[in-house]
Amino acid sequence: MAEAAAARHYRRGGARRVTASRRLAPRAARPPAPLSWQRAGSGGGGRAEAALRGMEPAGAPPQGCGPAREAEEPPGSPALPPEELQGGQPARQSPGEEALPAAAGRERGCRGAGPQGPPGRAARGRGRRAPGRRGGEEGVRAARRPRVTVDSSKAKTSLEALKISLRQLRWREFPFGRRLPCDIYWHGVSFHDNNIFSGQVNKFPGMTEMVRKITLSRAVRTMQDLFPLEYNFYPRSWILPEEFPLFVAEVRMMKDSDPSWKPTFIVKPDGGCQGDGIYLIKDPSDIRLTGSIQSRPAVVQEYICKPLLVDKLKFDIRLYVLLKSLEPLEIYIAKDGLSRFCTEPYQEPSLKNLHQVFMHLTNYSLNIHSGNFIHSDNVNTGSKRTFSSILCRLSSRGADVKKLWSDIISLVIKTIIALTPELKVYYQSDIPAGKPGPTCFQILGFDILLMKNLKPMLLEVNANPSMRIEHEQELSPGVFENVPSPVDEEVKVAVIRDTLRLVDPQKKKRKDTQCQTLEHVSEANEELLDAGAAERPESDSPRSPEPGLPSLCLKQVFPKYAKQFNYLRLVDRVAALFIRFLGVKGTTKLGPTGFRTFIRNCKLSNSNFSMASVDILYIDITRRWNSMGIDHKESGMCLQAFVEAFFCLAQKKYKSLPLHEQVASLIDFCTQRAKEVTTSIPCPSS
């Protein structure tokens, strides 16, 4: 058991030290006898899913051991025929076809010679070398350009992967910071740094708060209220302690209506990570036995009992997603991710195995302490593998990996759509428009569990996914040393390097200059040029400023698929109204006057809804949200409370419609009214 792994001797960088004994997931109270169950519905039902069906995946799955195919086809492109997926021949790349990730190359039997080239250790020195013939003039031109400067002084555990990336890009690193401004600031933990007035930071303000278990659950629930079918990829969750009575009541009701339902729940402390404090229960009353829910808020969630197994083991997927910009929304997904495996064969939860963390929790940080943990020295085996290797196996078994990828893309876009409204509130507060400040981008880690039927379920989002590219290895009993981890390096270096390529400030400058020289070109021609540039793979571009670099491992999914998902962005539009009426720059909460102004400007009060009722609504909702103890720094109405009030008003005004139509109608109504009152302030976009 994991507990046995406590207090070990470690040796890092030559220094020996003893780790503190770590408390792992506590044992759950003894619940009643279990039975298997599975409640999460299969298959998405929404419009977006329908539109995405048949969409080519963002990350080209390795296509089994068949020919490589680029993932940039338009939605609706036909799936690969099964014989192509299962053929055993190495792929021959057709002209114009983008290279597969190195992992996929190896899957196809091109060991060590993937066309994308190893972005890992083998490539470490590569950045220093003069560009090869292929680079030629481009390389010389690139060498003359001022190099992009990166402050890595706060990179923490991502430092090693960042350094390799910077070497490959031949950018300039400032490991101890710099007195002059840098182009990019790479932070290992969070956004906060009041001394940055320009450039770009790799964190968004408020992201850490937004992806905490409780905040994420609330944000997703708001979307589930509006679009229940579209958001069925997140397990049903309750927030403790405030929703404990609701949890008890709902579970009782469901058991009454279906006596064969024998659920299991997973309790996760808010703000916890690496499986810390997580435990499984069979009945709501088991929570009481563990005591401290008042002192440690948590999310309790339906436990997914029937996960997809590989080698009889449960595993989850860590996918890297780049939020490149909030306004306009730009999302990229990495072609490859990691699969983290449990280390004991999976059994459905029962009284006997409920406490077995190595069977139920896929966290690397826990399973590394199991005697069964296998370090991978290639990317297709062991307890941590590339996701592409799993896809390869699945497709060789005939699974529809293309649909799986489109479901994953859909899950990622929808989750980010759920997060953006509040992120925008944080953003305008930390970096008010018109004041000097950096722009932001961020790599997020999406943890996804595949159900037996291949439906992806979101477990959580990490604002700070581990970018470590080494692992601990036991040299002799109890003595550990950090050694490079090829699988981590393969995936993570590519993600960091390509994130940097996408946010490259010089590329933007070059683009601007090109635009100026093209001013004489007609508008129609310009559009054509832009579209061409967006579709052309970086390394294939005849003017590529990055000779010798592989094609990007990050693929744009938004705005690329914006048309299919824009109808979900209702809360974004509510947030735009909220921000508009916030008034004072730098705040995140709406005062009573701001709320009254909103009601007045939008002409929402009438004989049935007096201003006194408006005040009561404001006080009731604000008080309840503030009593949940989320943020005591400011008084007033937070965005979530405003959204609740807005839904309330929408239901009042448009009685018989479904909620999302009520809300959409009220947004249109308010936007129109607010426009009439003043045209000087820009209205929320529709």
Residues that bind ligand ADP (CB under 6 A): 235, 266, 268, 272-276, 278, 301, 303-304, 316, 361-363, 447, 449, 459-460
Q: Which long-range contacts (CB under 8 A, 24 or more apart) does 206-210 make?
A: 206/422, 206/423, 206/425, 206/426, 206/427, 206/429, 206/430, 207/423, 207/426, 207/442, 207/444, 207/463, 208/463, 208/464, 209/426, 210/419, 210/422, 210/423, 210/426, 210/463
Q: Least Å distance between CB 471 and ligand ADP? A: 17
Do residues 568 and 660 lie in contact, with contact meaning Cβ atoms separated by under 8 Å? no
Whether residue 321 contacts residue 416, with contact meaning beta carbons closer than 8 Å, is answered with yes
Task: Pick between residue 447 and residue 546 the one whose CB is nearest to ligand ADP.
Answer: 447
Q: How far is the CB of 462 from ligand ADP (least distance, A)?
A: 7
Kindly list the strands in the beta sheet with 184-187, ordered across the sheet, starting from the edge strand earlier in the chain.
172-174, 149-154, 184-187, 200-201, 439-440
- Rounded distance between C-alpha atoms, residue 348 and residue 371, angstroms: 22
Q: How far is the CB of 161 from ligand ADP (least distance, A)?
A: 21
Q: Give the shortest CB-625-to-ligand ADP separation in angstroms.
A: 24
- 331 or 459: whose CB is closer to ligand ADP? 459
Q: Which is nearer to ligand ADP, 457 or 469 (CB)?
A: 457
Q: How far is the CB of 261 from ligand ADP (least distance, A)?
A: 16
HSE-CB of 256 using CA atoms within 13 angstroms: 6
SS3 384: strand
- Min separation Cβ 447 and ligand ADP, Å: 5
Between 69 and 212, whose beta carbon lies closer to ligand ADP?
A: 212
Nearest-approach distance from CB 551 to ligand ADP, in angstroms? 31
CB of 145 to ligand ADP, least distance (A): 42
Q: Cβ closer to ligand ADP: 190 or 601?
A: 190
What is the phi/psi pair of residue 368, to 5°?
Answer: -60, -25
Nearest approach, Cβ of residue 174 and ligand ADP (Å):
32
Q: Are 314 and 532 in contact (CB under 8 A)?
A: no
Token pair listed for 225: 């209220």
Task: Give the three-class secondary structure for 172.
Answer: strand
CB of 473 to ligand ADP, least distance (A): 23
Cβ distance to ligand ADP smaller for residue 386 or 544: 386
Minimum distance from residue 300 beta carbon to ligand ADP (Å):
10
Nearer to ligand ADP by Cβ, of 105 and 445: the residue is: 445
Q: Closest CB to ligand ADP among 274 and 378?
A: 274
Phi/psi for 646 (5° steps) reads -65, -45
Give the closest residue to 25 by CA, choosing from 337, 257, 267, 210. 267
Give the length of the chain.
686
Cα–Cα separations (whole angstroms), residue 556 to 315, 537, 546: 26, 12, 19
Q: Give the up-direction half-sphere exposure of residue 305: CA atoms within 13 A in the CB hemisphere.
A: 20
If the CB atoms of residues 306 and 507 are measured against ligand ADP, the closer one turns out to be 306
* Residue number, 230 or 447, with CB nearest to ligand ADP: 447
Q: Tell me how far, at minimum, the Cβ of 316 lies from ligand ADP, in Å.
A: 5
Contact 551, 116 (CB under 8 A): yes
> Where on the phi/psi map is residue 291: left (φ > 0), alpha (ψ -120 to 50), or beta?
left
Strand partners, 606: 609
Q: 416 or 459, CB closer to ligand ADP?
A: 459
SS3 510: helix
- Please identify, using beta-carbon distances, which residue of 449 and 666 lies nearer to ligand ADP: 449
Residue 80 Rama label (left phi>0; alpha psi -120 to 50; beta): beta
Q: Which is nearer to ligand ADP, 73 or 276 (CB)?
A: 276
Asked whether 185 and 193 are in contact (CB, 8 A), the reply is yes
CA distances from 660 to 223, 329, 492, 568, 602 (A): 9, 21, 39, 9, 19
Among 406, 448, 189, smallest CA distance to 318 is for 448
C-beta closer to ligand ADP: residue 104 or 281: 281
The alpha carbons of the chain give a radius of gyration, in whole angstroms, of 26
CB of 366 to ligand ADP, least distance (A): 8
How near is the Cβ of 244 to ligand ADP at its closest, in Å?
Answer: 18
Using alpha carbons only, give the angle 160, 192, 559 rounded to the nearest 5 degrees. Answer: 80
